[in-house]
Chain A
Amino acid sequence: MKPAPFDYVAPATIDEACAALADAGGGATVIAGGQTLMPLLNLRMSQPFIVVDINNIAELKGVSRTPGAIRVGAMLRQYEVLTHETLQRDLPVLVQAVQHIGHHQTRNRGTVGGSIALGEPAAELPATAVALNATIEARSVSGTRQISAADFYLGPYMNSLQPDELVTGISFPDWPRNHIPLFRELAQRPGDFALVGIVGALVIDAGKISRAGLAWFGMGPTPIKASTAERMLVGQTLESIDPQTIAEEAIADTAPFDDQHASAEYRRTVGKRIFASALRDALKAGETA
């Protein structure tokens, strides 16, 4: 249970990191928080020729405002999200999602960009990015690409990054201050991957839902946009919404699978229940807001 030998570089700038990735010609792996990569290295499921450590790159840290969005640097650690004032105020659903990632000890190392880039289908952050229509910024020696979260995830642990591209930041479009976060997951133990989860946000204007961004996790090969639910919700008055009916329809967007933890049927059953109950809570919060 020791990693196979590899070379290691820890560049100080994004440009140097991109150059190292380009030089490696696909044989490099990026280490951010390492909370998934280190187990894969220890188990020799991953055997890169070279590990490019991005922990020393100051440009990848921090949170900034850009026109119409909040940009989170790829190396922002998960524990930093939990106490970040801007994120608590303007993107509370991200904070809520991070509370459910792994454990205290892994959140102290794990990063936002690492989790987003990895694309574990049952993880909280990729689904949050999909729900909120985030944009993932990728850099390489040939330039910068903005990839919408909807186009980023191709399958379990598969994304549309090229081997020489590095995720440098994630931009979450602005949501009005009064938006209502929505989050619910079921896991076997705290810190485990979710068996089923739903995440997103609603905006209520004058008693009507004016905007909805929702996504499922643990319900298919990638995080899945809850498009049917979004369509059914937007434009409706709060009193006309029946969460159970929407949950029954919304589940059609999912593609859950059987594994050792739960059957696809169980995931669908629980998915409907947590969707309805999370929506009910969000609507209640909307009434009192």
Chain B
Amino acid sequence: MSKHHIEVTINGRRHTADVEARISLSDLLRDNAGYTGVHVGCEHGVCGACTVIVDGLAVRSCLMLAVQANGAQITTVEGLAAEDGTLHPVQQALLEEHGLQCGFCTPGVVMTLAALTGNNAKPSEQQLLGALSGNVCRCTGYQGIRRAAKRLACAETGEHA
């Protein structure tokens, strides 16, 4: 079994590790780097809780090997709020629209929405809701999450619901 030296940037900080090839990116982020905001639900790509942003794209971190992330820029939910605690617009929208209950799926939902609304992108409500089909939530009934997504889409296009 091979071991590999990797270097990644997590939330703006350089992180190096020697990892076995079989270690997933989600396990690297949680166990090796301590970013436990990466929630691991199903570990086979179905639930979406482990979604993080890798080089600008929302991906499931359980479906990527840590060694494949060598050289990548990674953002986890810990990297979104400002230093002074000001929430990211996605977090604020979910808070105000009651888009979470137990919070287990929330980091995945947040990272999916953050990836799509980042870099001044202007996603439609349909695009946001479509992307959220990849995130399973077992307690909110989705309506709060949908309202938050709707608000983010409207905010981006300057329209009001």
A30 CB, nearest partner CB in chain B, Å: 13
A3 cross-chain contacts in B, Cβ below 8 A:
22, 24
Q: Does B21 lie within 8 Å of A8, measured CB to CB?
A: yes
A2 cross-chain contacts in B, Cβ below 8 A:
22, 24, 27
Contact of A190 among B24, B64, B68, B133 (CB under 8 A): B133
Q: Which of B42-50, B81-89, B92-100, B150-158 has 4 or more CB atoms under 8 Å from chain A?
A: B42-50
A80 CB, nearest partner CB in chain B, Å: 11
B7 CB, nearest partner CB in chain A, Å: 15
B68 cross-chain contacts in A, Cβ below 8 A:
10, 31, 34, 53, 55
Known: A8-B21, A8-B65. A189 touches B133 (CB 8 A): yes
Q: How large is the interface on B (under 10, 10 to 19, 20 to 34, 35 or more residues)?
A: 20 to 34
Which B65-108 residues have C-beta < 8 A from chain A? 65, 67-68
**Quick check: is B4 within 8 A (CB to CB) of the other chain?**
yes
Q: Which of A101-109, A130-138, A175-183 has 4 or more CB atoms under 8 Å from chain B?
A: A101-109
Q: Does B63 lie within 8 Å of A34, measured CB to CB?
A: yes
Q: Select from chain B the residue with minimum beta-carbon distance to A110.
A: B63
Residue among A9, A106, A108 facing the most chain B CB atoms (10 A cut-off): A108
B112 cross-chain contacts in A, Cβ below 8 A:
104-105
**Quick check: is B148 within 8 A (CB to CB) of the other chain?**
no
Q: Does A104 lie within 8 Å of B58, measured CB to CB?
A: yes
Report the Cα distance A39→B51, complex, angstroms: 15
Q: Does A39 lie within 8 Å of B133, measured CB to CB?
A: no
Report the Cα distance A8→B1, complex, angstroms: 8
Residue among B57, B62, B68 facing the most chain A CB atoms (10 A cut-off): B68
Report the Cα distance A4→B65, complex, angstroms: 13
Residues on B lying within 8 angstroms of A by beta carbon are: 1-2, 4, 20-22, 24, 27, 43-45, 48, 51, 57-60, 62-65, 67-68, 112, 116, 130-131, 133-134
What are 7 inter-chain pairs, A to B, with CB distance below 8 A?
Answer: A1-B44, A10-B67, A31-B68, A34-B65, A43-B44, A103-B131, A191-B133
Query: What 6 pairs across the A-B complex have the smallest Cβ distances?
Result: A103-B134, A8-B21, A39-B44, A5-B1, A104-B131, A38-B63
